[in-house]
Structure 1
Amino acid sequence: MVAETDGDAETVAFVVKIRVADGDIEYGFEGLDRDTALDLITAIMARVELERQYNEGRSKLGEALKQLIKRGEGNDHSRQNGKDARSDSQLRKDDG
């Protein structure tokens, strides 16, 4: 972050570099007052953290679903004697 004076007001110029899986993303800002710059940096950091938590949660959810599917593959509740376990009325609805 670089601070510059512009008359009576002090302005700030800075570059935010965010490292992502397929490279870096850079955002450049200039001419902001110090408080606005700090608020913006805080908001960007919060957004990055939310994105990280979201991706982590999706990954955990995906793993949990895989485990449920694995458990359900050996379960007899989904099929009976090789036939679909849906009720006859549901099968008639599906057939039109």
Structure 2
Amino acid sequence: MKMHQIPTPTMSQVTMLNDSITTAEFMVSALRDFFDKPLEEAQKLMLSIHRDGDGVCGVYPYEIAIYKAVCVRDKARALRFPLRLMVQEVK
């Protein structure tokens, strides 16, 4: 039997950007629902994003990072929030 080497997936971080319209409640909810953050961690990260302008939600294989970012963006748009997320390769 021939062994095949499985390539290591490209890892990417999802960063949430602050804006003046998206509510803190929505941000905390998104961090909990899509990034599996416990309540306390989600609240701290939301405050950090508000204070610093952005914050890393997590690091995932590229396809999963894109999927999570798109899901959050779509939910935000459905509620008329302009929330933006970035997906960047981790080197």
Normalising to structure 1: TM-score of the pair?
A: 0.37
Indicate the structure (1 or 2) with the bigger Cα radius of gyration: 1
Answer 1 or 2: which has greater strand percent: 1
TM-score by length of 2: 0.39
